[in-house]
């Protein structure tokens, strides 16, 4: 029986939609049939399946498993947990050939979706479109797969704690850390983790609640860090860590309540890693600060600017064997002593380890960074049919000028004032802009350049689009 998906749900990096409007159990079943058929045809058979804390997740999980087993795949159900726990179940067991996590990530409570791993690699782009094409034709193999349920949470937490194995406990005993799970899927793992860590730990919202009653689980939005900031200030803690809804993106604040952005966390991780693995290539996305790329080079590493998107970065890491990568959005990937996927709980462990090994507090590490002025990520609506064309026009106009242009992902232009970026989102009908300078005057000049380029393409930096 062929199946047609709503045109908005098959996206670049994952599958996502609004429950009851664009996404439901029939879609989940069809995803299982298509993914399972592809895996069987590639010689695989066993799929790990997990889900986040959204109200709709168990229903989608049930339908997904039906689809996978009907295609002849065996399913290993790992239950409720963060996306990195599913990645762990897939990466740590040799017999597992694929993995699917049901998650709406940091989207509002009425959204849900699927993140997938296929034979150890991210499953994205045209592979996701293939699922739609197969479903439309009913191009599915049949079979009867088996189902087993296993408990992986404790084993996963054991693996996280290993990240501190080379650091003497007495060096960590005085630490006082605040944690905010945002009622997301990382909560139960976090409760187990802090019980195992030296020092004092204060947690917020570790109870999983798919309605997100306290605040939206997106740690890149400063308002969502307010409760954590208050906790750190009231208890005079060393720093605070926050997670998104499915635990693959990390947010952090230092002891003074300052946000430590994704690229700034990467600077700390890079300093620690390059002492142990000198000369390593470290990847960051095109939205990252120039200060990061300069710092990696200064520490003897090789900085590489790459396209935004967790699947694209993971693929690039595998291709060039980079031990560390990260995005502004808080996806940080560790492949030196870990599996190369984005895991915010492990990222927290590595922040504790980096601070201990470097002999500096997280607040000191944040204070040592250059003071740059930068805009937040500005997103504005543009017609889907225009977004890539507009970027192409900007590129053409800049050719033949003395502008220093990097076109890895959109257009990133470096000037004596700093840099500005304009790129098309792969997942929404928006253009994304960002600028960074040493002075306010410089920042104003960079923003004026963005505006003049938009104007030349008949667009304006008008109403901002949300995530």
Strands 281-285 and 324-326: parallel
For 15-153, CATH gives 3.40.120.10
pLDDT of 56 above 90: yes
> For 224, which DSSP code?
G
pLDDT category, 463, cuts 50, 70, 90? low
Give the mean model confidence (pLDDT) for residues 433-442: 95
CA-nearest of 173, 172, 234 to 202 is 234
Q: What is the mean pLDDT of the chain?
A: 95
372-422 pLDDT, tens digit per residue, is 999 988 888 888 889 999 999 999 999 888 889 999 999 999 999 999 999
Dihedral sign computed on CA atoms, order 225, 259, 375, 290? negative
Cα Rg of the chain, angstroms: 22
Domain 262-343: state its class: alpha beta
Q: Give the start-end residues of each E strand in 280-358.
A: 281-285, 302-306, 324-326, 332-334
% of the chain surpassing 70 pLDDT:
99
CA-nearest of 23, 182, 243 to 114 is 23
Q: Is the pTM of this model over 0.85?
A: yes
140-169 pLDDT, tens digit per residue, is 999 999 999 999 999 999 999 999 999 999
pLDDT category, 15, cuts 50, 70, 90? very high
For helices 262-276 and 344-358, angle between their N-to-C axes, nearest 10 degrees: 60
Structure tokens at 142: 């049949």
Instruction: Region of 158 please: left (phi>0), alpha (psi -120 to 50) or beta.
Output: alpha
Whole-number pLDDT of residue 466? 44
What is the per-residue DSSP string for 322-344? -SEEE-TTS-EEE-SSS-SSB-H
- Rounded CA separation 363/264 (Å): 12
Helix (H) / strand (E) element for 276: namely helix 262-276
222-261 pLDDT, tens digit per residue, is 999 999 999 999 999 999 999 999 999 999 999 999 999 9
Give the mean model confidence (pLDDT) for residues 280-304: 97
123-134 pLDDT, tens digit per residue, is 999 999 999 999
Whole-number pLDDT of residue 379? 87
Does the annotation count 105 as an active-site position? yes
pLDDT of 461 above 80: no
Which residue bears the tokens 């257009």? Answer: 411
∠ CA 174-180-184, nearest 5°, is 140
What is the per-residue DSSP string for 96-129? --EEEEE--TTS-TTEEEEEEEETTEE--THHHH
Instruction: Region of 344 please: left (phi>0), alpha (psi -120 to 50) or beta.
Output: alpha
Question: Residue 153, SS3?
Answer: helix
Same fold flag, 262-343 and 373-456: no
pLDDT category, 264, cuts 50, 70, 90? very high
pLDDT of 427 above 80: no
pLDDT of 137 above 60: yes
Whole-number pLDDT of residue 465? 46
Structure tokens at 418: 């700093």
pLDDT of 108 above 70: yes
- Of the options 3.40.50.2300, 3.40.120.10, 3.40.50.300, 1.20.1640.10, the CATH number for the domain spanning 174-260: 3.40.120.10
Check 105, 280, 437, 457 and give the catalytic one: 105
**Topology of the domain covering 373-456:** TATA-Binding Protein (3.30.310)
Domain boundaries, the chain: 15-153, 174-260, 262-343, 373-456
**Can you name the residues that pair with 19 across neighbouring β-strands?**
23
């Amino acid at each position: 029986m062929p199946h047609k998906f709503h045109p908005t749900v098959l996206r670049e990096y994952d599958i996502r939609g609004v429950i009851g409007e664009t996404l439901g159990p029939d879609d989940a079943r069809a995803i299982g049939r298509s993914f399972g058929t592809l895996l069987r045809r590639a010689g695989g058979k066993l799929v790990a399946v997990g889900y986040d804390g959204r109200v709709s997740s168990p229903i989608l999980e049930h339908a997904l498993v039906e689809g996978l087993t009907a295609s002849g795949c065996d399913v290993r159900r790992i239950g409720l947990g963060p996306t990195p726990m599913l990645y762990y179940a897939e990466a740590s067991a040799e017999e597992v050939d694929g993995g699917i996590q049901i998650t709406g990530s940091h989207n509002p409570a009425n959204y849900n979706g699927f993140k997938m791993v296929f034979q150890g690699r991210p499953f994205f782009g045209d592979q996701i479109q293939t699922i739609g094409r197969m479903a439309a034709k009913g191009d599915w193999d049949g079979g009867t797969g088996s189902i087993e349920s296993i408990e992986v949470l404790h084993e996963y937490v054991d693996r996280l704690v290993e990240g501190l194995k080379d650091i003497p406990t007495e060096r960590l005993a005085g630490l006082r850390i605040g944690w905010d799970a945002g009622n997301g899927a990382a909560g139960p793992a976090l409760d187990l983790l802090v019980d195992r860590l030296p020092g004092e730990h204060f947690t917020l919202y570790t109870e999983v609640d798919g309605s997100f009653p306290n605040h939206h689980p997106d740690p890149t939005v400063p308002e969502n860090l307010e409760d954590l900031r208050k906790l750190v200030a009231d208890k005079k803690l060393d720093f605070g860590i926050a997670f998104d809804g499915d635990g693959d993106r990390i947010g952090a604040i230092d002891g003074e309540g300052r946000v430590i952005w994704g690229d700034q966390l990467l600077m700390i991780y890079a300093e620690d890693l390059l002492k142990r693995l000198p000369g390593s290539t470290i990847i960051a996305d095109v939205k990252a600060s120039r200060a990061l790329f300069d710092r990696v080079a200064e520490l003897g590493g090789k900085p590489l600017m790459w396209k935004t998107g967790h699947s694209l970065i993971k693929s690039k890491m595998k291709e060039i064997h980079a031990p560390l990568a990260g995005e502004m959005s808080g996806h940080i990937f560790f492949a030196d002593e870990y599996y190369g996927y984005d895991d915010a709980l492990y990222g927290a462990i590595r922040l504790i380890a980096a601070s201990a090994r470097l002999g500096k507090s997280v607040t000191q590490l944040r204070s040592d960074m250059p003071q740059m002025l930068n805009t937040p990520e500005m997103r504005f609506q543009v017609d889907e049919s225009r977004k890539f064309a507009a970027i192409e026009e900007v590129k053409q106009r800049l050719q033949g000028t003395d502008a220093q242009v990097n076109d890895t992902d959109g257009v990133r232009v470096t000037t004596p004032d700093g840099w500005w970026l304009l790129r098309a989102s792969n997942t929404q009908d928006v253009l994304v802009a960002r600028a960074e300078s040493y002075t306010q005057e410089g920042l104003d000049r960079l923003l004026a350049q963005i505006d003049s380029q938009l104007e030349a393409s008949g667009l304006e930096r008008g109403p901002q689009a949300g995530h």
